[in-house]
Structure 1
Amino acid sequence: MSMSDKSTRVAFGPWGLVKEVFNWYPSNYPAHERRMLFKLDLSILVFACLCFFVKYLDQTNISNAYVSGLKEDFQLYGNQLNYCNTCYITAYVVFQVPGLLLMSRPKLARWLLPSLEILWGVCTFAQSRVTNIQQLYALRFLVGMFEAPVFAGTHFILGSWYSGPELFKRAGTWFICNALGTMVSGYLQAAAYTNLSGVGGMAGWRWLFIIDGIFTIPVAVLGFFIFPGVPDSPRTWILTEDDINLAKDRARRANIRRPEKMSVDVFKRSLRRWHIWVFIFIYACMIISSYPVSYMNLWLQAEGYSVAQVNKLPTVISAINIVASWLGTTLAAIYPAWALYTFSSACCLFSTLCMIIWDIPRALKFVAWYLFGTSGCLSPILYSTVNTIVKDDSEERALIMGSMMTFGYSFQIWVPLLLFPTAGADGAPRWRKGWPASFAFFFLLWAGFIAALLIHRW
């Protein structure tokens, strides 16, 4: 479905809207197509959601570990937390485009993510045994390298099997695992700090990485058995030949181009079109603007809240993020995406303005932190839009998604060191320079998305 094709949108009453939100297998689809969609959901979404969950569990673990004993154990009173994130992001950036281009190859697409999951799990276990910050820097780099193609690669896989409302609904449901991993990490760290500190001679923060690693290995094994890759990949046992033929026919009807031979021409034709430039700009704005959103725990710690409260209270942001991810993307398949993007952006701009002012009632500051959760729909709507607009070129679609992540996260290597330092008078969570910059980039994120829709329509 084209983002600008108003003829495909249907007017719903309140009850009709509720039914449409949960209507994943439309009754007007033939029975065999509904069965195939159900199989795809089992094989793609189950693995992708579990994979994404453990990834974001780890990404939040490092911050939660920092405020739950890591900082004191390793005497980290400078910008070491930022340096850990920089090591991770550097690897994430370097291996993004190569990973996505490999993902577009049918023979590799089925095996790449489960294989990387195994390697990622080993590094996750290893983080629980570090004895100094230098070892943690090295492991964060390896974690970023093995994780690089997971996010954009899953969006690429979804866009290879689904289109229109199907795509938006599944992208939003999958993205829930981002916030779910973040939320669960807070509760796990609180529980580990309370119940596992000293068990086996290890601090509570170390146990969180062990728990994450225990989750990871079964997910990887499951992926080898059920993850289908792209429609042209070797067939898994869960899909029949008829299912694959139907999937290819659906892709043909939706004008989703199948993978072709990889060559340097993909770079030439991509750079000649507007898509890559606009979407890279949008995603860079998203990354920079959202950086401080995940550090409510640092504010709570500065305010004197207990370790348990520091880990648990920020989970409300994740809960709101879950609702926004799921409901926002579902509604984007029914109503104009620009309207939902505008609503979410307005909430984030309001919250950022509160942080710029800073000296506001504590209750209002809690509201501001929690309103950041409405940003949950921004990323899945953006990536579903990319999948929809660039569906006519599989290789270009992979290159754009990889480039979005590469250039977006490349800013996160150095921008936090300038705008969001951990220590100092302008350090976390006050960020006198960071919050105004975040406000500006939230606005540019909204303006860039609107511009992309207008350019595509024209």
Structure 2
Amino acid sequence: MEFVSVFLYDSQFLDVKLKCAICSTEKRSWLKFFDEYEYRDLYERRGIKHKWWNWYDENDTPEERRYIAKLDLLITSYCFVSYWNITDCVDNAYVSGMKDDLNLGGNDLVHLQVMYTLGVVIFELPFMYLFSKVRMNWLIPGMDIVWGFFTLAQYRAKSQREMMAYRFLIGSAEGCFFPGVHYVLGSWFKSHELQRCGGIFYFGLMLGSCTTGLLQAAVYKHLNGYHGLAGWRWMFAIDAIITIPVGILGFFVWPGTPEKVQSFFLTEKDLEISRRRANLNAFSNSKGFSWSVIKKACTSWHLPVIFIWNTFFFNSGAQAGTFLLWLQSLGTLSKPMINNLSAIPPALGIFFVFVACFGADVFRSRWFFLCLAQAVNFTGLVILAVWNVPDSAKWYAFMVQYAAWSMSSVLYGWVNDILRHDNEYRSILITGMTIFATQSTAWTPLIFWKTTAAPRYRTGYIYASVISFCLIIWTFVVLFFFKRDERNYYFERLHEAQASDDDIQDHVNKIVRMLISFNENVVTAKGK
């Protein structure tokens, strides 16, 4: 009887807490609109407040922290190394002799960039369906190896047409990489972990862009003409030689997704923790593809709002190679020096990525750091659009170019969080938004970033600055819809909990009545 009384008290106390939670959300400051975790903290954090200086969540147990560290070593580290290796070096090759050797001129550079983009767009299409169906531990490393072989083939290019064919094939091999990595990260990590994991992934791109310039300078200096090959040809060969072994390593290190995991390093206990974390984060398992998923995408706010948002992001920065072409236009720098100087903006980009991605996780505010990164980018674009400014201002503007890309993992991490309730839906939307945004970069350079407009690019810088400003404004549109969905989901959980409580209360009352009846029967029997 004492146990039943305690159970009744706990159940009633839980019911009171839920009702108080509902009342507390009705009396909220307007500033709460900017708190992304306002509703989630009420059911996920169990009343424990987050301290920004803590790397791990206060709710994580010691075994969960060991598990997260293992994921960082297996997944995040491989993402970093892989992205470092598949960084493209065609812009550096262009200013290091490829232009003259292949008789390139006019807008040929932008045509090479567009062909690569077309390959990415076309071969991203099937992966909308395949991500949730195939083993990602085979797909991503396998396509890395294919990318390496196509990169190697570029060293033997004899004409512009042949190089354009190779660029298309390289883009096709890379089509699954960017959305695929974000899909896998979103399958393992919680919302407040995704940005820093994606940030480490993006460190690879920045470091790759940085070392590409330095390596091209060293290759041009020491290998140019060696065995009859120009320095830029050696660069493609070296890039491939580094990439292919990393792809092979991925077969053994990259675990894929929790549903189709294959790893020598993850134990059954790790997978159990993964399932528990997924349940707490309201993350769904694959339910199988159906046309209802397409219908859901076409009728929800996600498709128009997120697609436009991501397209703004893809077009918010200056075209690749603008800094290199400006340095070349000065006419006072050697080719090795141009390549060495090209390493500075991506090196600073590592700092921008650190601030944006780690700040978004630590301070639990994705919208703020996304807007901060774009505000820095916007100032640089305005300076370059004006152009007639002191050289120091131009140097500043070129140095902050990579601020535009630093918030990539913040945006994709946020989208992963928004779509976490449906795995197939998440696969289609993440790939779809990448395709939609990427296709825009296949034709906008032909209008705004013509090589013949270098190094001024007046139309291009004006276009990018307007897009950057629109991206900042559109982020608050996303925040509005996100908060609305989080509020609705929170109240759904509350109502389910209350319904479950009512069922428990009914069962407990039945048990109490049975015990009371049994006790009365015993007393009556003893009296007789």
Same-fold status (TM-score > 0.5): yes
The CA distance in 2 between the partners of 1:338 and 1:237, in whole Å, is 38
* Corresponding residue for residue 174 of structure 2: 147
User: Counterpart of 1:292 in 2: which secondary structure?
Assistant: coil
Which range is displaced more, 227-236 or 153-162?
A: 227-236
C-alpha deviations, 1:41-90, integer Å up to 9, x for none? Answer: 2221122112111222x2xx100000000001111111111111111101
Matched, 1:353 2:382: yes
User: What is the one-letter code of the residue matched to 2:316?
Assistant: S
Identity of aligned pairs, percent?
32
1:114 is displaced (CA, Å) by 1.3
Matched, 1:36 2:63: no
The CA distance in 1 between the partners of 2:163 and 2:139, in whole Å, is 25
User: What is the one-letter code of the residue matched to 1:109?
Assistant: M
The CA distance in 1 between the partners of 2:307 and 2:427, in whole Å, is 13
The CA distance in 2 between the partners of 1:26 and 1:441, in whole Å, is 36
* Corresponding residue for residue 353 of structure 2: 325
Matched, 1:50 2:81: yes
Does the Cα contact within 8 Å between 1:337 and 1:381 map onto a contact in 2? yes
The RMSD of aligned alpha carbons is 1.9
The CA distance in 2 between the partners of 1:352 and 1:150, in whole Å, is 29
Matched, 1:82 2:101: no
**Equivalent residue in structure 2 for 1:128, among 155, 180, 185:** 155
C-alpha deviations, 1:351-406, integer Å up to 9, x for none? Answer: 11111111111111001111223234321110011011111111111111111211
Do the aligned partners of residues 210 and 434 (structure 1) sit closer, same or farther apart at CA in structure 2, a change above 3 Å counting?
Answer: same
* Corresponding residue for residue 210 of structure 2: 183
User: Counterpart of 1:95 in 2: which secondary structure?
Assistant: helix
**Equivalent residue in structure 1 for 2:235, among 168, 184, 208:** 208
Matched, 1:430 2:456: yes
Matched, 1:261 2:292: no
User: Counterpart of 1:398 in 2: which secondary structure?
Assistant: helix
* Corresponding residue for residue 5 of structure 1: 37
**Equivalent residue in structure 1 for 2:315, among 288, 291, 312:** 288
* Corresponding residue for residue 270 of structure 1: 297
User: Counterpart of 1:435 in 2: which secondary structure?
Assistant: helix
The CA distance in 1 between the partners of 2:58 and 2:437, in whole Å, is 40
User: Counterpart of 1:289 in 2: which secondary structure?
Assistant: coil
1:263 is displaced (CA, Å) by 2.2
Do the aligned partners of residues 200 and 11 (structure 1) sit closer, same or farther apart at CA in structure 2, a change above 3 Å counting?
Answer: farther
* Corresponding residue for residue 118 of structure 1: 145
User: Counterpart of 1:430 in 2: which secondary structure?
Assistant: coil
The CA distance in 1 between the partners of 2:60 and 2:162, in whole Å, is 54
Does the Cα contact within 8 Å between 2:125 and 2:431 map onto a contact in 1? yes
The CA distance in 2 between the partners of 1:98 and 1:450, in whole Å, is 32
How many aligned positions are there? 443
1:33 is displaced (CA, Å) by 1.6
* Corresponding residue for residue 201 of structure 2: 174
Matched, 1:196 2:223: yes
C-alpha deviations, 1:106-136, integer Å up to 9, x for none? Answer: x422211111112111101111111111111
More RCO (CA 8 Å, sep 6+): 1
* Corresponding residue for residue 226 of structure 1: 253
Instruction: Point out where structure 2 has 5 or more consecutive residues left out of the alignment.
Output: 1-33, 485-528
Matched, 1:370 2:377: no
User: What is the one-letter code of the residue matched to 1:309?
Assistant: M
* Corresponding residue for residue 103 of structure 1: 131
Does the Cα contact within 8 Å between 2:135 and 2:261 map onto a contact in 1? no
User: What is the one-letter code of the residue matched to 2:103?
Assistant: Q
* Corresponding residue for residue 452 of structure 1: 478
Does the Cα contact within 8 Å between 2:135 and 2:257 map onto a contact in 1? no
Does the Cα contact within 8 Å between 2:297 and 2:425 map onto a contact in 1? yes
Does the Cα contact within 8 Å between 1:3 and 1:337 map onto a contact in 2? no
User: What is the one-letter code of the residue matched to 1:198?
Assistant: G
Matched, 1:314 2:342: yes
The CA distance in 2 between the partners of 1:342 and 1:391, in whole Å, is 23
Which range is displaced more, 25-34 or 341-350?
A: 25-34
The CA distance in 1 between the partners of 2:300 and 2:343, in whole Å, is 41
* Corresponding residue for residue 500 of structure 2: none
The CA distance in 2 between the partners of 1:145 and 1:406, in whole Å, is 12
C-alpha deviations, 1:416-450, integer Å up to 9, x for none? Answer: 11111001xxx112112111111111111111222
Does the Cα contact within 8 Å between 2:349 and 2:400 map onto a contact in 1? no
Which range is displaced more, 74-83 or 31-40?
A: 31-40
Does the Cα contact within 8 Å between 2:76 and 2:201 map onto a contact in 1? yes
Matched, 1:442 2:468: yes
* Corresponding residue for residue 158 of structure 1: 185
Does the Cα contact within 8 Å between 2:316 and 2:404 map onto a contact in 1? no
The CA distance in 2 between the partners of 1:180 and 1:253, in whole Å, is 35
The CA distance in 1 between the partners of 2:233 and 2:174, in whole Å, is 20
User: What is the one-letter code of the residue matched to 1:327?
Assistant: V
User: What is the one-letter code of the residue matched to 2:338?
Assistant: V
User: Counterpart of 1:392 in 2: which secondary structure?
Assistant: coil
Which range is displaced more, 404-413 or 332-341?
A: 332-341
* Corresponding residue for residue 12 of structure 2: none
**Equivalent residue in structure 2 for 1:237, among 245, 264, 272:** 264
The CA distance in 2 between the partners of 1:429 and 1:259, in whole Å, is 49
Does the Cα contact within 8 Å between 1:183 and 1:315 map onto a contact in 2? yes
Does the Cα contact within 8 Å between 1:324 and 1:375 map onto a contact in 2? no
1:29 is displaced (CA, Å) by 2.5
The CA distance in 1 between the partners of 2:102 and 2:174, in whole Å, is 26
C-alpha deviations, 1:191-212, integer Å up to 9, x for none? Answer: 1111110112100001111111
1:293 is displaced (CA, Å) by 5.6
Does the Cα contact within 8 Å between 1:293 and 1:369 map onto a contact in 2? no
Normalising by the residue count of structure 2, what TM-score does the alignment of the two structures yield? 0.80
* Corresponding residue for residue 416 of structure 2: 387
1:3 is displaced (CA, Å) by 6.8
1:261 is displaced (CA, Å) by 0.7
User: Counterpart of 2:402 in 1: which secondary structure?
Assistant: helix
Does the Cα contact within 8 Å between 2:125 and 2:435 map onto a contact in 1? yes
User: Counterpart of 1:228 in 2: which secondary structure?
Assistant: coil
